Amino acid sequence: MDGFSQKEEQRLLKTLQQESDNLGLVERRKFLKNAMVMVGAGAVVAQTGSVIASSNLPPAVPSWSRKLGDGVLTNPYGLPSDYEKDTIRRTVGWLTPDRISSISMTPLHKLKGIITPNGLAFERYHGGLPDINPDEHRLIIHGLVERPLIFTMDELKRFPSVSEIKFLECPANGGMEWKAPQMEGLQFTHGMLSCCEWTGVRLSTLLDAVGVKPEGKWILAEGADGSGMTRSIPMEKALDDAIIVYAQNGEALRKEQGYPIRLMNPGWEGNTCIKWLRRLEIGDKPWYQREETSKYTDLMPDGRARKFSFVQECNSVITSPSPEVPLKVKGWYEIEGIAWSGKGKIKGVDISLDGGVSWRPAPLKGMIISKCLTRFSYMYNWQGEPLLLQSRAWDETGYVQPTFKQLRAERGGNSIYHRNAIHTWKVHSNGSVQNAQLS
């Protein structure tokens, strides 16, 4: 059929069968046998699950190869395939019942490499998503400076620009897990995390333009959204690597991420990366705003709060398998995950199959960039045994990701933020994966 001789057809099916045998894909082999029978009998539709038509499977020529497709500009702004409708940001109902002061999370289990596509980067709003006309938007820099200045978007884009791939993480990422393993899904345990290529002008360049007075030691950054988000940023960070960002993964910043400009403090609490940025005031001390006192601080066991916990410390998680990516058949798997550190480069990752009793190195792969997601992977032949999967990362400063026990011993049980403990996935013998914590 479809131009293949009976002999050719059988040879092709045999090759496919061998290939699937080599991969150990039991289900696929069963399915192919099934498909072969149906094709042999000339049936139009053979199904393993629900909607797979054998007429579209090799050696047949699929229906979409027999006609011309849609033309260009079917989607003037490109969209993912209709078959990827499941790859979306998600919220947790009980955590953020309203959408105005809310958070949606990145589907980390669906992502490859280190870049988060713009439509999938988690969003955090304290006062809803403002709709800002860039022609009417201005950035004001004033306070302890020689020349207070007001910049238009065009003016900001005339300065030399930098493009850097950096992760962005809400310090509340995984905060629900302090009490117990509550969230059944990687998207919810770790999804307040994204990693994009950010383009903009270094804050130090703009500070040069206004001329910071010697007493100028802190900067108040303020957003133009209804929440009036404000955070105090030390001058050292501003002069080190902070960026006033207007582009994300090559295109204009998304509305959700702060269009037309935001502050990006690489490796620091996402909360300090003020979106829809409208004002920078230079002062000689911090302002102690709401979001750095009553919120975004950790209450320690002695009843005192940690002051300015800016850095997102080293963390890692296995992305596959995970609750959303169970093991379907026995055989070889690439156990994969991501590691990141707000202090610099990831130096190494170990993984454990037995809940931290023994560890083996999981090689890093792809680009290894400072304050950026880094991939690790480990090949494993799974034969249906239960596993307690963990990853433990360390960074170039020597900081090692702590166990939950170590983290709790230091921080007690009152925290919401900065939960970077080694995470456990319990793999059951049927291949399903559960969020777990070991005492």
Ligand X SMILES: Nc1nc2c(c(=O)[nH]1)N[C@H]1C(S)=C(S)[C@@H](COP(=O)(O)O)O[C@H]1N2
Residues that bind Mo ion (CB under 5 A): 124, 170, 270-271
- Give yes or no for a contact between 263 and 269, defined as CB atoms under 8 angstroms apart: no
> For residue 110, how many C-alpha atoms fall within 13 Å in the half-sphere facing its CB?
20
Among Mo ion, ligand X, none, partner that 125 touches (CB below 5 to 8 angstroms by kind): ligand X
Residue least distant from Mo ion (Cβ):
170
- Tell me: does residue 275 bind ligand X (CB under 6 A): yes
Site for ligand X in 140-169 (CB under 6 A): 168
- Report the distance separating Cα 407 and Cα 390, nearest Å: 16
- Tell me: does residue 273 bind ligand X (CB under 6 A): yes
The correct pick among 270, 321, 337, 342 for binding ligand X (CB under 6 A) is: 270
- Tell me: does residue 257 bind ligand X (CB under 6 A): yes
Residues that bind ligand X (rule: CB under 6 A) add up to a total of 21
- Report the distance separating Cα 306 and Cα 172, nearest Å: 15
Part of the chain binding ligand X (CB under 6 A), chosen from 69-77, 219-227, 359-367, 403-411: 219-227
- Report the distance separating Cα 315 and Cα 269, nearest Å: 13
Rank residues 258 and 321 by Cβ distance to ligand X and give the closer one. Answer: 258
Rounded to whole angstroms, what are the CA distances from 327 to 65, 100, 255, 271?
32, 37, 37, 36
Among ligand X, Mo ion, none, partner that 143 touches (CB below 5 to 8 angstroms by kind): none
- Here's the x/- map for ligand X, 224-243, by CB under 6 A: it reads as -x-x-x--------------
The correct pick among 29, 126, 279, 423 for binding ligand X (CB under 6 A) is: 126
- Tell me: does residue 39 bind ligand X (CB under 6 A): no
Rank residues 271 and 352 by Cβ distance to Mo ion and give the closer one. Answer: 271
- Burial (CB < 10 A; 0-12, 13-18, 19+), residue 299, is middle
Q: Which residues touch 349 (CB under 8 Å, ≥6 apart)?
A: 316, 337, 339, 361, 362, 364, 374, 376, 391, 392, 393, 394
Rank residues 256 and 350 by Cβ distance to ligand X and give the closer one. Answer: 256
The correct pick among 189, 199, 271, 401 for binding ligand X (CB under 6 A) is: 271
Residue 47 structure tokens: 């199904």
Among ligand X, Mo ion, none, partner that 425 touches (CB below 5 to 8 angstroms by kind): none
- Tell me: does residue 137 bind ligand X (CB under 6 A): no
- Give yes or no for a contact between 341 and 310, defined as CB atoms under 8 angstroms apart: no
DSSP 40: H
Q: Which residue has the tokens 């998680």?
A: 317
- Nearest approach, Cβ of residue 314 and ligand X (Å): 18
Return the closest-CA partner of residue 397 out of 339, 347, 357, 325. Answer: 347
Among ligand X, Mo ion, none, partner that 165 touches (CB below 5 to 8 angstroms by kind): none
Rank residues 168 and 364 by Cβ distance to ligand X and give the closer one. Answer: 168
Return the closest-CA partner of residue 404 out of 159, 177, 214. Answer: 177
Q: Which residues touch 268 (CB under 8 Å, ≥6 apart)?
A: 237, 310, 311, 312, 342
Q: Which one-letter amino acid corresponds to residue 342?
A: G
Rank residues 274 and 393 by Cβ distance to ligand X and give the closer one. Answer: 274
The correct pick among 36, 108, 203, 274 for binding ligand X (CB under 6 A) is: 274
The binding site for ligand X (CB under 6 A) comprises 121-126, 168, 170, 194, 223, 225, 227, 229, 256-257, 270-271, 273-276
